[in-house]
Amino acid sequence: MVQKPMSTQTSGAEHVEQVIGRAHQELESLLKQRAEIIKRIGNIKHTIRGLINLFGDEVIGEELLKEVHHRSNSRQPGFTTTCRTILMESNRPLLTQEVGQEIARRNPTWLARQKAPLASVSTVLHRLASYGEARSLANDSGQRTWQWVKDNGEHPPDSLSQGNVSEEA
């Protein structure tokens, strides 16, 4: 087996590091561009929906209407259902941030479109509480947590009284 001189191996490693560095920069740039494009698309769709609300569906072509997914209610379909499911599946009360992290894990595009993702999650959790489907609690640190209320009126075991509010794997 022929060994290359040490200087060639070192320069090869440096070259790989440079390529990785450039690829990383390009990836960051593209991700930033994607976020900006998604935001611009959202703004344009919002403007078109506003025009539809003012002037009616007839001022817009069927194709464009499908592209903007016109609905009288602009909330993301499934977002509330996902929040509800996350609370139902949890065996302990969750912080708003934890619900947001789980949504991001399940479908990252839902939160990527939000200007204030945690505010959106918080709004849905407050709405679920107003429906009587969830309840708000305070953990040992005084932070607001959210817990599903079972259909029969019973609450899941109160993990807070057991001091079990840390994240579980």
pTM of the predicted protein model? 0.47
User: What are the tens digits of pLDDT across the range 133-156?
Assistant: 899 999 999 999 999 987 544 444
pLDDT at 36: 81
Phi/psi region, residue 154 (left: phi>0; alpha: psi -120 to 50; beta: rest), is beta
Instruction: Identify whether the C-beta of residue 98 lies closer than 8 Å to the C-beta of residue 144.
Output: no
Helix (H) or strand (E) holding 138: strand 134-138
Instruction: Identify whether the C-beta of residue 165 lies closer than 8 Å to the C-beta of residue 145.
Output: yes
pLDDT at 4: 56
Instruction: Identify whether the C-beta of residue 155 lies closer than 8 Å to the C-beta of residue 147.
Output: yes
Q: Strand 134-138's sheet: what is its strand order? A: 94-95, 144-148, 134-138
Helices 117-130 & 96-106 angle (0-180, nearest 10): 110
- pLDDT category, 73, cuts 50, 70, 90? very low
- pLDDT category, 95, cuts 50, 70, 90? very high
Spatial separation of the C-alpha atoms in residues 7 and 145, rounded to whole Å: 58
Task: Report the range of poorest mean pLDDT among 4-18, 37-51, 94-108, 124-138.
Answer: 4-18
Residue 139 makes CB contacts below 8 A (sequence gap 6+) with 93, 95, 145, 160, 165
Q: In the numeric block, which tokens belong to residue 12?
A: 């090869």
* Neighbour tally for 91: CB within 10 Å: 10
